[in-house]
Structure 1
Amino acid sequence: MKVAIVGCGGLGNVHAGAYSKIPGVTIVGVCDIDANHLSKMAQRTGAKAYESFDEMLEQSGCEVVSVTLPSHLHKPFSIKAAQAGKHVICEKPIALNLEDAAEMIRVCEENGVRLFIGHVVRFFPEYVQMKNKIAQGALGRIGVAHLKRIGGHPGERRPWFKDEEKSGGVVLDLMVHDLDFLRWSLGEVRSVYGLRKLEGNVDYAAATLVFESGAVANVEAHWGYQGPFTTAAEIAGSEGLIRSDSSKSVSLQIRKAAADNAKGPFVEVPQSPGFHSPFELEIKHYIECIVENKQPIVTAQDAYKALEIGLAALESARTGKAVFLNNSAQEVSR
């Protein structure tokens, strides 16, 4: 499988590293407008460097294109790759509005190519374990979830993150990870109420999601936090509680209601997060989906829905009113 990468920054290098570990995959082209980034990526991968994306599509012989560009560029580059007959692995969010996301999905389908979106949290072992415990009924009926994702402002090193029209801000770039995970684990979202504070170098958002099942989730996302990047999740059900906190030495804790003869109220069962990079697991899975023509763990439709929830949180934060989602609508048309 011959792949090409457009965007030679941080995530471009992450994709390159993942491809290098997949047997049968060769990086045949890399592209970026930053000559320094482009040169370093070409040297690292041994792939030909292209200043022109069109030339890379025409000349490299690639079958798959990784789109690891700023979010506002996801649509035009994904569509151009699809129209050239290339499968697309695009970073999240799928786009910054639903119209663009729908067009990406439609154009890929019309050109007979696959579209994969990098919602990598579905490949983090601790989140997979939480999802599986919920699906297995280990926690009983889910009542309340609390999730957070906080860290420094990426705009300090990459100014485009501070431009709402290019990044979507903390909600569409960071919170969207947890929005996708929650929908994957708890089902469709009925309503969203959002709050947001933008002040100087702080971009903070909180959202309360009410699910069709009746479960409620509170989600926080924060750029400008002075401490280390941290993620945490706590999901409570009628039969138990599950926790994950990246700041703890143990990544996952499961607390079960104690039996009558137990000495304490809870039993903790720590779990290992594993040793494989979630990005490597994700990229390998998407390549397998192309080769074996199978359904991915996260679909382009899932990415569309995560974006829809994020946009609802932003609309609610603007208006001060809850936003209700229509889950009876059909999938984005083919």
Structure 2
Amino acid sequence: MNVAIVGCGGLGRVHAECYSRIDGVTVVGVCDMDEGAARTVSAMTGAAVYPTYEEMLERSGCDIVSIALPSHLHASFAIRAAAAGKHIVCEKPIALRTEDAEAMIEACDRHGVRLFVGHVVRFFPEYAKVREQIAGGALGRVGVVHAKRAGSHPGDAREWFADDSRSGGVVVDLMIHDLDYLLWTLGDVRSVYAHRIRRDRLDYASATLVFESGAIANVEAQWGYPGPFHTTMEVAGSQGIVRHDSRTSSPLAIRRTVTGESGGPFVEVPQRPELRSPYELELRHFIDCIRDGSEPIVTARDACRALRLAEAVLESASTGRVVYPGSQAKEETR
């Protein structure tokens, strides 16, 4: 199975490294506006460098396109890949607007190709274990969830992150991890009330979600945190509490900022001490789904639901009002 990668920044490199460890998968093409970044990934994989995306789609012989571009480009590049008959692995968020996400899904359905979206938190073992405990009834009826993720502002490394029109800001780029996970774990959301503060290199958002089940989740996301990237989660149920804190739960803390040979810094990607990173587990899973036709753990429709919830958070934060996305979320599952 042949893969081409468009976008050779930090996550493009992560994709390249992961694909190189999957039997039967070959990276055959790379493309990036930064030729130096493309040549670095080419040197890692032996893939050809293509000057344009169209040329890569036409000439590389790829079966799959991995899209690791700024978020505002996801929709247009995915739709072009679908029209070329290529399966797609797209980094999260699926798009910046649900209308674009729907257009991506429709294009893939029309051209008979698969669309996978990289909501990688579902592949982190601690998050998978918490969901397993909830689903198995170990915690009883879930009452309250506290979830947080915080780190330095990625705009310090890549300026486009500081532009909401290109990244979606801290809600659509960062908080969406927990929004997707909570939808996956607790089901539909009845109401959203949110706040957001943006000041210089601080982008902070908090949201209170009330689920149809009656559970309440308090979710925080912050760029500009004066310390290492970290995630925390606490789930309180009628029969017990489970807690996760990335700063204390891992026996080995790895924090690495990658700098390319082209001289440009890349956004920090959380690292893990496991033999196989969650990114590799995710990409292996997507490849297996293409090979055997099975449904992925995270579907494109799931990614669209997470984006819709992120939009509700932004609407509440901008209006100061409670937003009720429950009926829309139910419609998405039909």
1:221-264, Cα deviation, whole Å (9 max, x unpaired): 0000001101000000000000000010458xxxxxxxxxxxxx
Counterparts of 2:43 and 2:333, CA distance in 1? 40
Contact 1:31 1:50 in 2 (8 A): yes
SS in 1 for 2:331: coil
C-alpha separation in 2, matches of 1:100 and 1:301: 12
Say if 2:173 is the partner of 1:173: yes
Change beyond 3 A, Cα 1:245–1:115: same
Identity %, equivalent residues: 59
Matches of 2:316 and 2:329 in 1, distance apart?
A: 21
Contact 2:208 2:216 in 1 (8 A): yes
| Inter-partner Cα distance in structure 1 for 2:299 and 2:249 | 32
1:212 corresponds in structure 2 to: 212
What is the CA distance between 1:276 and its match in structure 2? Answer: 1.9
Match of 1:259 in 2: none
Cα deviation digits, residues 77-120 of structure 1 (max 9, x gap): 00000000000000000000110000000000100000000000
The answer for the alignment partner of 2:286 in structure 1 is: 286
SS of aligned partner of 2:298? coil
- d(CA) in 2 for partners of 1:274 and 1:51? 36
Tell me the residue number matched to 1:330. 331
Please name the residue that 1:240 is paired with.
240
Partner of 1:231: 231
TM-score normalised to structure 1 length? 0.92
Q: Within the alignment, does 1:60 sit opposite 2:60 as a pair?
A: yes
Q: Does the 8 Å contact 1:4/1:66 carry over to 2?
A: yes
Deviation string for 1:19-39 (max 9, x for gaps)? 001100000100001011011
For the residues of structure 2 that align with 1:318 and 1:130, how far apart are their CA atoms? 32
Q: What is the letter of the counterpart of residue 22 of structure 1?
A: I
**What is the correspondence of 1:1-334 to structure 2 with a 5 Å cutoff?**
1-250=1-250, 274-325=274-325, 326-327=327-328, 329-331=330-332
Q: Which residue of 2 aligns with 1:262?
A: none
Contact 2:189 2:329 survives alignment (8 Å): no
Q: Provide the TM-score with structure 2 as the length reference.
A: 0.92
Contact 1:126 / 1:273 at 8 angstroms: preserved in 2? no
Query: 2:273 & 2:144 partners in 1: Cα distance?
Result: 23
Larger radius of gyration: 1
Q: Is the 8 A contact 1:18 1:280 kept in 2?
A: yes
SS of the aligned residue for 1:61 comes to: coil
Q: Aligned pair in 2 of structure 1 residues 238, 329: CA closer, same or farther (>3 Å)? A: closer
Aligned partners of 1:153 and 1:201 also within 8 Å: yes
Are the aligned partners of 2:90 and 2:117 in contact in 1 as well (CA < 8 Å)? Answer: yes
* 1:331 Cα deviation after fit: 3.6
Distance 2:329 2:149 in 1: 30
Aligned length: 313
Distance 1:175 1:324, change over 3 A: same
Q: Which consecutive unaligned segments of at least 5 residues does structure 1 have?
A: 252-271
Secondary structure at 2:82's aligned position in 1? helix
Distance in 2 (alpha carbons) for counterparts of 1:332 and 1:31: 35
Equivalent position SS for 1:330: helix
- C-alpha change, 1:328 and 1:63, in structure 2 (3 Å) is closer
C-alpha distance in structure 2 between counterparts of 1:111 and 1:46, whole Å: 30
Render the CA deviation track for 1:30-54: whole Å, top value 9, x for unaligned. 0001011011111111000011000
Residues 82 and 108, structure 2, Cα contact 8 Å, conserved in 1: yes
**Aligned partners of 2:305 and 2:332 also within 8 Å:** no
Please give the alpha-carbon distance, in whole angstroms, between the structure 1 residues aligned to 2:323 and 2:307: 14
Conserved in 1, the CA contact under 8 Å of 2:188 and 2:330? Answer: no
SS of the aligned residue for 1:117 comes to strand
Q: Deviations over 1:285-328 (max 9, x none)?
A: 00000000000000001000000111100000000001101147
